[in-house]
Amino acid sequence: MFSFSDLFQWDRFITPTIIKTFYWLVIALICLFGLSGIFSGLAAMAISPFGGFLVLLSSIASVVVGIVFSRIVAELILIVFRINEHLGAIRDQGGGMR
């Protein structure tokens, strides 16, 4: 975790520690919007069964795609920070060319 003093110092990044929290918030929002779409699709089935079924299927597909896409984005952000840490370790070992 990070302490309050880390917010005012630039020695370490706080993003890798809070990215998981943002990831779970995004997952919760995706699920809420997915449930909303599913209920809308079920309500639309009363008017047009085929149209409501399409809305239902697209809502389920959107939830799956949204979860996968948000995981990919979170991992890409973490990879960028991990690359930075590895490059810093290489620099500290004196492996850099001067």
**pTM: predicted TM-score of the whole model, two decimal places:** 0.75
Residue 36 pLDDT > 70: yes
pLDDT score for 39:
96
The residue ranking higher by pLDDT, 6 or 43, is 43
Provide the residue count of the chain: 98
Residue 39: CB atoms within 10 Å: 13
CB 81 within 8 A of CB 13: yes
State the Cα–Cα distance between residues 87 and 92, nearest whole angstrom.
9
The residue ranking higher by pLDDT, 84 or 24, is 24
pLDDT score for 14:
75
Query: Mean of the pLDDT values across residues 27-31?
Result: 97
